[in-house]
Amino acid sequence: MKEIHMERKDLRDRVLSQLQRGRFGKPDVYLMSTGEGPVVVKDVGKRHFIFRWTLGFWLIHREWKLYARLRGLPGIPQPLNRIDRFSFSIEFIPARPIERGTLLPSSFFQELKQILTEMHDRGIVHLDLRHKGNILVSETGRPFLVDFNSGMHLEDSWLRKFLLPLLQRIDYGGLLKLKRRVIPFSLTPEERNALDRLNRLRRIWIFN
């Protein structure tokens, strides 16, 4: 989908549904209509002015930059429009959360691992993939990652070399947790051990 121009006034007139009601640290999320089809909008513009002009503004700006850095990567909704300082729009993907027992294509987890690898190659980590609503399966059976509200971009530096390997494991832990929930018999002994180590780590360092 090509870039779509939207303005603040459009957020009053084009709402199809509210996908998520914002809470502290989270924006409101809407499905909006456009001439090019539906899009997803993340917005903190209706929040209390103290939150809106401080943490809200910073979170929207940071998440938009993450989507922009991931532009063109399969499995990530594409950024469309920075509407204003409090909101942006991204591509709408017809997809759903993955429940226990969901039938997935045999290639699903390999594709998901490839998305993570390419994302990490760009220095970006998601850090909230244990939340089951952040890994989706599209209507065509492809994996998609959404909600980079907790994500980080690590610039090339000694800090990236030190932190990225550790944070990558947290993202892969989300993949393994999903795999255990959906097809637990497919976990290898190495994957089970890796998931157990990550669960122990989360007791002292909780990212998600």
Q: Average pLDDT for residues 187-206, to the nearest whole number? A: 79
Q: Average pLDDT for residues 88-94, to the nearest whole number? A: 97
pLDDT given at position 180: 92
* Number of alpha helices (DSSP H) and beta strands (DSSP E) in the chain: 6, 10
**What's the farthest any 2 CA atoms get from each other in the chain?**
54
CA–CA separation, 8 and 85 (whole Å): 10
How many other CB atoms are found less than 10 A from the CB of residue 94? 10
Instruction: Give the helix, strand, coil percentages of the chain, each rounded to 5.
Output: 40, 20, 40
Domains of the chain: which residue ranges?
10-91, 95-202
pLDDT in tens, 94-110: 999 998 888 899 899 99
pLDDT at 2 over 70: no
Nearest to 6 by CA among 88, 86, 63, 64: 88
Q: Average pLDDT for residues 31-57, to the nearest whole number? A: 92
CA–CA separation, 65 and 122 (whole Å): 12
pLDDT in tens, 158-185: 888 889 998 999 999 999 999 999 989 8
For the domain 10-91, what is the CATH superfamily, name and number? Phosphorylase Kinase; domain 1 (3.30.200.20)
Q: What per-residue string of b and e applies to 173-182 under the rule 16 or more CB within 10 Å gives b?
A: bbbbbbbeeb
Is 0.85 topped by the overall pTM? yes
Q: Average pLDDT for residues 30-51, to the nearest whole number? A: 92
pLDDT given at position 205: 56
CATH class of 95-202: mainly alpha
What is 167-179 written as a DSSP string? HHHHHHHHHHHHH
The answer to whether domain 10-91 and domain 95-202 are alike in fold is no
Helix (H, G, I), strand (E, B) or coil at 102: coil
What the block records as the tokens of 21 is 């009601």
Where does the chain have alpha helices with state H? 10-13, 49-51, 57-69, 108-121, 158-182, 189-202
Return the higher-pLDDT residue of 134 and 5.
Answer: 134
